Structure 1
Amino acid sequence: RVRTNGEVIETLAADLATPEGVETVVARAHALGDVELLVNNAGLSTSGPFLAQPADREIESIRVNVEALYRLTRAFVPGMVARNRGGVLNIASIVAFQAIPYWTTYAATKAFVLAFGEGLAYELRDSGVRVVTVCPGFTRTGLYADSGVPGLAGRLLPFAKPETVVRAALAAYDAGRVIRVVGFVNRLLAVSGALTPRFVLRWLMAQMFAPTAARPG
């Protein structure tokens, strides 16, 4: 438990890749009182050719990025709806907007987060509960320190500071946005991706994210 600026912050270690870990978080949060804002920010990433990845590690990432997010949302949103107030802030990614060869599973999990958040936001639009999905680009956090960003993308695309993403996410929540893409370059990528034929986009993403050994030529 940490006290800062007059607020008490309580930390809790739990393995969100397991139902038991999620339940630990849910039980502790309920014991502390009503949850007014749920931030689904936990994430795991693997990168590289799909068949080269340990299946257990990829499944673990699906459990954290998708299943835990679903379970936590399911646990806390009913109480918010009953109180006619509250919110969910989902952290997706710029890679949620298209398939990413060599980052296939991670991008797919973030596509789920984006679609899930957008759909839920509409369902809860008259409930007093906000659901905002934030799509940052690469951010200087432990996620990328552990797995890295594959290929040219990790060297060419900009990395944001965590505090920049936090400010943008909270501003989007305060404004009642449904989706917020963080950063000018990322907004440009999202818009241009929507206008580009998918077969072209797949090829471009493969060139950007392929490990050196996997890139043709």
Structure 2
Amino acid sequence: MRSANHDRARTALVTGAGSGIGASFAHALARQGRHVIAVGRNRARLEALAREIDAEVLVADLLDEHDLGVVEQRVRDGVDILVNNAGYTTYGSFPELEVEHELGQLILHAAVPLRLCHAAAGSMPSGGRIINIASLAGIAAAPRLAAYGASKAALISLSESLHHELRPAGITVTCVCAGYTRTELQARAGVDASALPRSLWHEPEFVAEQALRASDRGRALVYPGRLTALTGALMRHLPRSLARQAAARTYAMVTPLDSGAHAAS
């Protein structure tokens, strides 16, 4: 595991780095020769990742005020790439879901990236990049994923605004509107999404690769994959009533593994 003595102009911090898209970002950035700061809650997973790519481990629960403050300071200490990826979802009838889990998504997907973006904007050098992982669920209504969709919509809006605002400082902000990705998110949420067509799915490595490429090109938004991009365009341009109906039909193909609603992180 690397020490803190590193080139701040070649340092990337990735939240939610223990698995899925976050781990794929960590591997891709390490291959670029960057010092990777891997942030997550699961120490064992982060340390396993560190053995693979020689990353710096920062164990933190971003819903904990103290831990978030530590990560904010680590960003201010110097990174040139920030990847806001940490997240979770719930699934089910809104009145039956635990309100704490619903509020947690709004904090983790919107408030936490806002604070880390703020820390980066005041310290990141020209040429720096911020990558925020959102979702197609933030483009239109997301029945039975209401809080998740709302939180990702907020992240998309924040990202587009900051893309324009920080550009004069030489900082690029890219928002990734990912579609269905083969990670642990669905299993941890206690749902079965196997009924969704295989053509809708992407591997986390593909999403990370597409995101980094879009960031390199200075793009504000990226929809990884052609079908994801087509879906995003349709959802943005359809009348809102039709977009809601289309989203509801898609999410109805996702079913709970049991009668309870679960949170994932």
- TM-score tier (shorter): 0.7 to 0.9
> 1:191 is matched by which residue type in structure 2?
A
Are the equivalent residues in 2 in contact too, given 1:50–1:104 (CA < 8 A)? yes
Corresponding residue of 1:19: 65
| Residue 205 (structure 1) shift | 1.6
Residues 1:175 and 2:192 aligned together = no
TM-score normalised per structure 2: 0.72
3-state secondary structure, aligned to 2:167: coil
2-side partners of 1:76 and 1:212: how far apart?
39
3-state secondary structure, aligned to 2:195: helix
Output the aligned Cα RMSD. 2.2
Return 5+ residue gaps in structure 1 as ranges.
none
TM-score normalised per structure 1: 0.87
Corresponding residue of 1:88: 130
Corresponding residue of 2:106: 62
1-side partners of 2:151 and 2:230: how far apart?
22
| Residue 142 (structure 1) shift | 2.2
Residues 1:189 and 2:231 aligned together = yes
Corresponding residue of 1:45: 89
Are the equivalent residues in 1 in contact too, given 2:83–2:130 (CA < 8 A)? yes
Are the equivalent residues in 1 in contact too, given 2:131–2:173 (CA < 8 A)? yes
| Residue 135 (structure 1) shift | 1.0
Return 5+ residue gaps in structure 2 as ranges.
4-29, 36-53, 257-265
Corresponding residue of 2:196: 156
User: How many residues in Structure 1 have an aligned counterpart in Structure 2?
Assistant: 207
2-side partners of 1:114 and 1:149: how far apart?
25
CA 1:26 to 1:208, structure 2 compared with 1: closer, same or farther past 3 Å? same
| Residue 85 (structure 1) shift | 3.1
> 2:186 is matched by which residue type in structure 1?
Y
CA 1:148 to 1:137, structure 2 compared with 1: closer, same or farther past 3 Å? farther
> 1:62 is matched by which residue type in structure 2?
L
Q: Percent identity?
A: 34
| Residue 84 (structure 1) shift | 2.7
3-state secondary structure, aligned to 1:47: coil
CA 1:29 to 1:114, structure 2 compared with 1: closer, same or farther past 3 Å? closer
Are the equivalent residues in 2 in contact too, given 1:148–1:154 (CA < 8 A)? no
